[in-house]
């Protein structure tokens, strides 16, 4: 009996020592949600387009400049804005600023012509010398990638927007990032736009 008690006591002792010396295993937390990857933001410099004369236009050549991007049309009630656009371009083109026009036929078919007709119209009627690109779509299923960038927050980092009509303006800062969306009826020489160009706000 004594021998049994001795062995039992020794057994419990060894068990206690083993439990005390046993290292705790790290617990791996269980993920309860799936983390979605955040789309990488772009800048305007990621885009290459085709100009109205069918040449490649690389936006990375505009690094360091403020840019106004505007969708244009030749048969719109707002078409006279070409005049103010050209005036603003002439005044500030040598001050790290430029305007890029994108003809589009998305609204009431008000830009029906081809690229050569558009170029002739702009030059003849308004003396346009700022860069004009090939006609594109700025809304709908065939929206051009550059307008997907301009209108989608997950790409531009600023806001979601819709192109409301011809002559909507998108302002790009010197780092190639979208900073403002300007309504179509706001004139290109609006004081708020001029203040932005001049760096007063």
**pLDDT category, 1, cuts 50, 70, 90?**
low
Residue pair 168/182 in contact by the 8 Å Cβ criterion: yes
pLDDT for residue 153: 97
Whose structure tokens read 């990638």? 145
pLDDT in tens, 161-175: 999 999 999 999 999
Q: Which of 46, 50, 75, 76 is catalytic?
A: 76
d(CA 4, CA 86): 106
Which tens digits make up the pLDDT trace of 38-53? Answer: 457 899 999 999 999 9
Instruction: pLDDT band for 3, please (50, 70, 90 cuts).
Output: low
CA–CA dist 161, 196 (Å, integer) = 20
Question: Which residue in the block uniquely carries the two structure tokens 């009996």?
Answer: 1
The pLDDT-based confidence of 67 (bands split at 50, 70, 90) is very high
Q: Is the pTM of this model over 0.85?
A: no
pLDDT value for 40: 72
Query: What six digits make up the tokens of 76?
Result: 């719109």
pLDDT at 39: 56
Average pLDDT over residues 142-163: 98
Residue 192 zone, left/alpha/beta (φ > 0; ψ -120 to 50; rest): alpha
Domains of the chain and CATH, by start: 44-197 (3.40.30.10)
CA distance 140 to 148: 10
Q: How far is residue 51's CA from residue 166's CA, in Å, rounded to a whole number?
A: 18
> Is 122 noted as a catalytic residue in this protein?
no
Per-residue pLDDT at 15: 44
Whether residue 57 has pLDDT greater than 50: yes
Segment 70-110, tens digit of pLDDT: 999 999 999 999 999 999 999 999 999 999 999 999 999 99
């Amino acid at each position: 009996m004594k021998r049994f008690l001795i062995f039992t006591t020794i057994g419990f002792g060894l068990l206690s020592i083993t439990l005390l010396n046993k290292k705790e295993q790290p617990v791996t937390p269980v993920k309860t949600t799936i983390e979605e990857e955040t789309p990488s933001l772009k800048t305007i410099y990621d885009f290459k387009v085709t100009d109205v004369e069918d040449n490649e236009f690389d936006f990375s050549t505009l690094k360091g400049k403020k840019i106004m991007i505007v969708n244009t049309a030749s048969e719109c009630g707002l078409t006279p804005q070409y005049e103010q656009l050209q005036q603003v371009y002439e005044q500030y083109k040598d001050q790290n600023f430029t305007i890029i026009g994108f003809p589009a036929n998305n609204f009431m078919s008000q830009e029906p012509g081809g690229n050569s007709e558009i170029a002739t119209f702009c030059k003849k009627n308004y003396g346009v010398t700022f860069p004009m690109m090939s006609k594109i779509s700025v809304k709908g299923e065939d929206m051009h990638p550059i307008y997907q960038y301009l209108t989608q927050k997950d790409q531009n980092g600023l806001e979601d927007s819709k192109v409301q009509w011809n002559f909507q303006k998108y302002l790009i800062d010197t780092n190639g990032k979208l900073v403002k969306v300007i309504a179509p009826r706001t004139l290109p020489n609006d004081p708020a736009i001029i203040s932005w160009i001049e760096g007063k706000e």
